[in-house]
Structure 1
């Protein structure tokens, strides 16, 4: 087999984008370049080519049916006669430069792509376009048309390859594989695609370091072609005229040739000066000659590209048909079953698959394991705008804003603006390493780039020192995040690398799939990755919650929910540390560590005026129950100038019938139970009592009783009983009285069982590994997560106020009243009265013995007060063992106190001061509560 050889390069045009094509008979080579000239070469050794000036520059050229079509600097596709080179009409006009002209031998049309985000299929005679391909969000870099003119394909700077059905004039498939750019002149990867020229069976397109072949019937991946020597992205690919070979070139000038039938590489040739190859053209003679030109204006060629000497001519049709010996071997089989197998072999051979008995495959070809119509989502930085923008946001969060400014000459700079100038003054950096990723916290600014893959961090505390870490040769940084106590980056090796803010390498963790995004809070890192391959319409994402505490590192893995057919658009945490995710349909979700569930907290689409509007998330505040975001009208990201306005959106859980009063109160209680809000006890109990009053007024006693069972609040129970008795609902009042007794009997068992079990469970599953002082039996819906938990701990037990004055002293509110129906007030006024009674308090007496529980003191309060002394007495115990020891001690002390004094109960005949109600009993479910820190 002859080796592929490269002919010496020669000067063709001035430096800049250069294009090349052959005449249909293969006798002439034609080039155009940045100098505006078109040159006609007899062969590569032609020292005196015919030269014609068509303008200041020419970007594309194509020969068809004795006519030459040139894309000139006036943004038109000009036709010329050949070889006379006389003007022969204008095929079409654009408002921006034409980037490529493409056609096939069997059709009478031209495909033209332009920088104005549009591509067209036009008749060779001009006139109105036959098909206009719009809806691109970037310059169209290339176009391809199948030989039957049934499908076309475009690649644009917005990162997408789009496949179009010409008959219906609709887009049928999108593939994400193009590096994003905002102008054709800055594109290194041109993403030149090609259809198989004989029957249009395959569509070949470059995807990073490999070439992917799609089946043009099912649009599933058939094979991929690559080479071990390819070290950078492939820019373009081109089928040979016979359709049996495929050539591909990289941005570093490497050119490789593969045989489609076997998938084997026939060889690879390095460019002498490593310049990017801008165009390639096969000689139509079928002699294995491939001409190419580069961005330096040089022209070269490769010979023996078919694996045999180019001087030995063979009929092209002999390459296309199946070998006669193979056909004979397949037909002359003994049995019918073997003949059926042989037909399958024939089918596989003609489709380009080789069936071996040991199922072995060539190393350079990989068949897709399962067809999928949804490409996996690529990695991204939260709150960052697209890379191809000249002025873009690298990060925008509650600490500050990081902007990147790129100039046309390649220079780049980074500006950092802090919301609070007391934290740090503004920073201006020259972006020498071309950083594309940034994350900002109160202690560090983290920057990273893919090539060279390096993490650079600037400390914002102390002496503001800078440190950096270079990745190993085989790794590239894909995502980066920074928080007050950690810096993390995820790499192409599926590794999560953790650093301290000052540069100490803390840990290296393997991720279970390709990373999508990173976020961090304090010393906790959130890593979202693909748990499995995407399905027919959905991404399958998971999140690792990795927490560091001293030498300990703990992780919890949870699935990340998305709206059907949606992608993750933002990842972060609230200002108190709750993980949050936001998809591109506008749904914002919060992960409640206590319950282990994702809760939708805001639908930003309800706040948009137009269908094309979107919201750019900045930060989320749980205490104020707001989402800070920027409205982007008609786009998905904000502009850098003028500076956009940040809007506050209210957090709201999407319960049913939110326009009704009942649902509004329910939404408040559910939201306060799962988020750390600034709401106080007064507002919470007020909403609870109003919801109870609505149930009573609607004559749904069972719902009212159910509500009190759910609330599990001893302070509300007497008030609810009085309210029910006032309305004459004695049956409900009696049930509420019995409910209080049931709570009294069951509280001891619940405290013991759930403290021993859920305390251990919580330390294993929550990411706040230092928090062991959980509230174990508090009210389920009355807000337990507060910015300052002491406000709830210091609330004194209320003293029930008599319904009406009595000379005999206060009465038992749970006792049936004979004349309760005679003086019924309106429900509304009674509700207002009970709201006042909620906040009545009684002085508590202190217990002199520190180990002895105070009057009405729960286990949590007692344990918090005595935990340090128990740890000093038992230094060998773990936190879980100290908790169990405390439970036993608390129970023994309680039993001793109760045995000595007995339990006091409210009595209607008691003339002494009314006994304060017991402290709030706590439910078993609240053992899951995750106490966030402000």
Structure 2
């Protein structure tokens, strides 16, 4: 029989509303934001009794002729029923109480609060029986098993099965997962479909009392088996669960399970078969805040929503709720007996005596939920231990977004801007886009008519989509005239996550396909993924795809990442395993400003993937920057050049609020080496970080840190470590100063070792390079080919951006020795000995003041004036060396004027040095190539390079 919903009626003021039944099922009890408790005879009662308990009442529970209400003073107040007299306070909290739970056989009350505590209390009051205080956020739900062996807490409402069953049901996105709490293994999964994911991993569940050794039997889940399953498990539901499920409740008999979503949908399943009895749509799509089954077992389910409305569902058991239960039970048993006769005929004709064969009797019992015969009960107990199954796989999500069920939420927050979704009246919503740089693009305000739930923002495009079918990808170009384009997905595909880069737009669907587009809407490629997608990220024309490489383990998610780089018509990919902290889930995926892939899990560990070395490096532990145990960090962006992580501190939650707008903080990037509180650990951390991360650090700073680390080893009398450090760095410019410092310490033996290192490097260079090259070539052959190679750089910005390379090339200028030239004019003496005024050896911390200056000083025996022409050097060569300095000293000059200045300077320097070319004056007509002032002054304006281009002489 079809489930019927009663019309909604006003119960309380708008806000959170709770509901429960008395133990005899004669009255419905509700409480709401107006501070009243109302007692209803039934849903159609027009004059319920009302009692005021305070400014607001959040939770309510009935047990043993007493009523327990959570009031606004953060206490659980007891009342007598039906007299409604105060009967003491059960317990108190320091924050609002969120739920009060109990059942008929449990002699205790479970209470939760926003102060991150849960208590199990005696109904008579007094000290709590048990306190759970290790939560990292507000506790919204508690469930107690009928045997009082286990209790479970969560931020979504869950429920233990009543009576003697051993199941715990909890919501997980758009499905309800059933766990067997003896082994904490996943038993079943309930969705809107009665055939698809009935049982986890496509298997029929093994009966708990079955003594066979076959376990669960895999089914060939094809079209024919689906058709058979539809005949075995019919459903009258034509609806679909559209959004996340927020709570679930078992019926008093334990044979049915009800769940509600944040959009007001209520679904009912039969537990044994997994059949969906029906899905009821809320008329106004408000979130259902509470549900309660009638203890009479008549299939009536009462519920309240966040707008203060009260309603009820009838016929939830598939039969008339007003009819007697005995007759219906007899009819149900007759129907099952007919099923027994049909299946018994199959057993008689086809059952095999082979012990290794498939037991049709077992399939019958598991599928139809039938009991065992007396013969089976006499079988010996199986000696196999229960198998602990895997944790549920992580659902797809959008990085840098907040939960979908929030009325005001962030759809995306990255280095480009912020995309907000705001709920308005009548269920409509709007999308606001705010750019950090208002000069780049003006803000955008859109009406969310399509119900977009996901978005991604880049410097070139805004992409939006929704999960429900029909799926459509909507993109707004931010370049030029801001044109909008849309792409409709096939009827069988549903978009799970989207991403946008400067040169690519991508979406992943439930068909395990990755669809790539250009920023203006051209379909670029479609790629098959190796597992269910988790999230996407993009940088320029590179897409990062995270998916489940295998089924999850007992406590861990097994994820992998595909790095897909595009360059024109070419596409190359590299697959890398994705590490996570044990027992954690992925919380964020993105790239740095240099293009390095990064991941962040919900335990607070941020990791960076160095593509050049192929390793994951932890670069930040956000827990060290948190004050409270429930504080988390919301990642916005990462800068390798500035060595900072831009993130938002969330106190008591895992996501930031929209109002007021949170403040973005900068956390330093730091590799978690050991003993970071010591100087040695700090210098080692800097060298390791600079070796793998594109830091805006010049070579002078790096050499200072290395020399200080060398000095610490010398001062601690660990000479072998000092030599090892120099061998590791292999810096020819740093080695002489390290030897000089060792000599001043009086460690001549160490200085001799360092002096011989340079010679050994040159002698063993060929042999060492050959061995290392063969080693790394062997490593390369074991991996999937990299995104880039030395011959063709498909996406250089994925490793180090081009600008960063150029910047580092300008900063880290190689120091080349300049040969000592003769000085005809006797300006300097190259053999003059320098005076050393330092007599005492300074500590490592004071090396910067004296010794480290010598690291970058130029030897006085060399030509210290770069403007002085070398012997035999032509003007073209001299000008090439000094052009940049001339331009920096005279920024107002044009290229032609700089050329004239260079000619005059070159002549003057030659005259000072007394070179033969400057011994006599030349006439203007004798100047080669007409290099006089008049032609250059009248020459037209030209580029810097073309001003000194060679002119090919015509053949004579």
The TM-score normalised by the length of structure 2 is: 0.63
Q: Counterpart of 1:52? A: 48
| C-alpha distance in 2 between matches for 1:589 and 1:195 | 41
Q: Counterpart of 1:396? A: 413
| C-alpha distance in 2 between matches for 1:488 and 1:369 | 43
| Counterparts of residues 562-641 of structure 1 (less than 5 Å) | 562-633=580-651, 635-641=653-659
Matched, 1:443 2:460: yes
Q: Counterpart of 1:881? A: none
Q: Counterpart of 1:835? A: 856
| Counterparts of residues 220-369 of structure 1 (less than 5 Å) | 220-226=185-191, 227-228=194-195, 229=237, 231-232=240-241, 239=250, 241-244=252-255, 256-258=268-270, 260=272, 263=273, 265=275, 268-269=277-278, 271=280, 279=291, 281=293, 284=296, 289-290=299-300, 299=312, 301-302=314-315, 305=318, 313=326
| Counterparts of residues 22-33 of structure 1 (less than 5 Å) | none
Q: Counterpart of 1:413? A: 430
| C-alpha distance in 2 between matches for 1:146 and 1:715 | 71
Which secondary structure does the structure 2 equivalent of 1:438 belong to? Answer: strand
Equivalent position to 1:380, from 397, 402, 405: 397
Q: Counterpart of 1:492? A: 510
How much has 1:599 moved relative to structure 2? 2.0
Which secondary structure does the structure 2 equivalent of 1:313 belong to? Answer: helix
| C-alpha distance in 1 between matches for 2:632 and 2:431 | 26
Q: Counterpart of 1:524? A: 542
Which secondary structure does the structure 2 equivalent of 1:222 belong to? Answer: strand
Offset from partner CA, 1:37-93 (integer Å, 9 cap, x none): 64436xx9xxx9684331699998877667788999999878575xxx654556769
Which secondary structure does the structure 1 equivalent of 2:857 belong to? Answer: helix
Offset from partner CA, 1:380-420 (integer Å, 9 cap, x none): 33333444555444333322333344457645333333232
Which secondary structure does the structure 2 equivalent of 1:710 belong to? Answer: helix
How much has 1:508 moved relative to structure 2? 2.5
Q: Counterpart of 1:105? A: 104
Offset from partner CA, 1:240-281 (integer Å, 9 cap, x none): 554455566777766545263xx363x734659878887463
Q: Counterpart of 1:553? A: 571
| C-alpha distance in 1 between matches for 2:118 and 2:851 | 72
Which secondary structure does the structure 1 equivalent of 2:695 belong to? Answer: coil
| C-alpha distance in 1 between matches for 2:706 and 2:19 | 77
Distance 1:647 1:116, change over 3 A: closer
Q: Tell me if the contact between 1:798 and 1:841 (Cα under 8 Å) persists in the aligned partners.
A: no
Distance 1:574 1:246, change over 3 A: closer
Offset from partner CA, 1:316-344 (integer Å, 9 cap, x none): 89999x99xx9xx9xxxxxxx99xx99x9
How much has 1:568 moved relative to structure 2? 3.1
Distance 1:681 1:372, change over 3 A: same
Distance 1:306 1:98, change over 3 A: farther
| C-alpha distance in 1 between matches for 2:872 and 2:576 | 45
Gaps of 5+ in 2: 196-236, 345-353, 374-384, 797-802, 875-879, 882-956
Equivalent position to 2:439, from 403, 414, 422: 422
| C-alpha distance in 2 between matches for 1:372 and 1:491 | 27
| C-alpha distance in 2 between matches for 1:561 and 1:101 | 39
Which secondary structure does the structure 2 equivalent of 1:765 belong to? Answer: coil
Q: Tell me if the contact between 1:796 and 1:841 (Cα under 8 Å) persists in the aligned partners.
A: no
Q: Counterpart of 1:147? A: 146
| C-alpha distance in 1 between matches for 2:737 and 2:794 | 30
Q: Counterpart of 1:680? A: 698
Which secondary structure does the structure 2 equivalent of 1:837 belong to? Answer: coil
| C-alpha distance in 2 between matches for 1:719 and 1:800 | 20
Matched, 1:195 2:161: yes
Q: Tell me if the contact between 2:29 and 2:37 (Cα under 8 Å) persists in the aligned partners.
A: no
| Counterparts of residues 851-890 of structure 1 (less than 5 Å) | none
How much has 1:552 moved relative to structure 2? 1.5
How much has 1:742 moved relative to structure 2? 1.3
Q: Counterpart of 1:478? A: 496
Q: Counterpart of 1:798? A: 817
How much has 1:503 moved relative to structure 2? 1.9
How much has 1:595 moved relative to structure 2? 0.8
Offset from partner CA, 1:912-933 (integer Å, 9 cap, x none): xxxxxxxxxxxxxxxxxxxxxx
Q: More displaced, 754-763 or 493-502?
A: 754-763
Distance 1:772 1:200, change over 3 A: closer
Distance 1:239 1:533, change over 3 A: same
Which secondary structure does the structure 1 equivalent of 2:672 belong to? Answer: coil
Offset from partner CA, 1:335-374 (integer Å, 9 cap, x none): xx99xx99x989x989979899xxxxxxxxxxx9963575
How much has 1:523 moved relative to structure 2? 0.7
| C-alpha distance in 2 between matches for 1:751 and 1:136 | 48
| Counterparts of residues 114-129 of structure 1 (less than 5 Å) | none
Distance 1:68 1:401, change over 3 A: closer
Which secondary structure does the structure 1 equivalent of 2:594 belong to? Answer: coil
Matched, 1:218 2:183: yes
Offset from partner CA, 1:790-817 (integer Å, 9 cap, x none): 4379645223889xxx999979x9xxxx
Q: Tell me if the contact between 1:37 and 1:58 (Cα under 8 Å) persists in the aligned partners.
A: no
| C-alpha distance in 1 between matches for 2:720 and 2:76 | 78
| C-alpha distance in 2 between matches for 1:833 and 1:122 | 73
Distance 1:25 1:678, change over 3 A: closer
Q: More displaced, 498-507 or 713-722?
A: 713-722
| C-alpha distance in 2 between matches for 1:115 and 1:734 | 67
Q: Tell me if the contact between 1:520 and 1:572 (Cα under 8 Å) persists in the aligned partners.
A: yes
Q: Counterpart of 1:40? A: 41
Q: Counterpart of 1:542? A: 560
Distance 1:238 1:673, change over 3 A: closer
| C-alpha distance in 1 between matches for 2:602 and 2:265 | 38
Which secondary structure does the structure 2 equivalent of 1:732 belong to? Answer: helix
Q: Tell me if the contact between 2:138 and 2:652 (Cα under 8 Å) persists in the aligned partners.
A: no
| C-alpha distance in 1 between matches for 2:599 and 2:316 | 54
How much has 1:484 moved relative to structure 2? 0.9
Q: Tell me if the contact between 2:411 and 2:453 (Cα under 8 Å) persists in the aligned partners.
A: yes
| C-alpha distance in 1 between matches for 2:115 and 2:672 | 42
| C-alpha distance in 1 between matches for 2:743 and 2:97 | 84
Q: More displaced, 657-666 or 60-69?
A: 60-69
| C-alpha distance in 1 between matches for 2:840 and 2:606 | 44
Which secondary structure does the structure 1 equivalent of 2:507 belong to? Answer: strand
How much has 1:462 moved relative to structure 2? 0.7
| Counterparts of residues 712-861 of structure 1 (less than 5 Å) | 712-716=730-734, 728-729=748-749, 731-732=752-753, 735-742=756-763, 764-766=785-787, 771-772=792-793, 786-791=805-810, 795=814, 797-799=816-818, 832-837=853-858
How much has 1:444 moved relative to structure 2? 1.6
| C-alpha distance in 2 between matches for 1:496 and 1:704 | 52
How many residue pairs get aligned? The number is 753
Which secondary structure does the structure 1 equivalent of 2:146 belong to? Answer: coil
How much has 1:299 moved relative to structure 2? 4.8
Which secondary structure does the structure 2 equivalent of 1:598 belong to? Answer: strand
How much has 1:463 moved relative to structure 2? 0.7
Q: Tell me if the contact between 1:195 and 1:239 (Cα under 8 Å) persists in the aligned partners.
A: yes
How much has 1:702 moved relative to structure 2? 4.6
Which secondary structure does the structure 1 equivalent of 2:636 belong to? Answer: strand
| C-alpha distance in 2 between matches for 1:59 and 1:689 | 64
Which secondary structure does the structure 2 equivalent of 1:653 belong to? Answer: coil
Q: Tell me if the contact between 1:194 and 1:204 (Cα under 8 Å) persists in the aligned partners.
A: yes
Q: Tell me if the contact between 1:257 and 1:305 (Cα under 8 Å) persists in the aligned partners.
A: no
The TM-score normalised by the length of structure 1 is: 0.65
Distance 1:694 1:771, change over 3 A: farther
Offset from partner CA, 1:882-916 (integer Å, 9 cap, x none): xxxxxxxxxxxxxxxxxxxxxxxxxxxxxxxxxxx
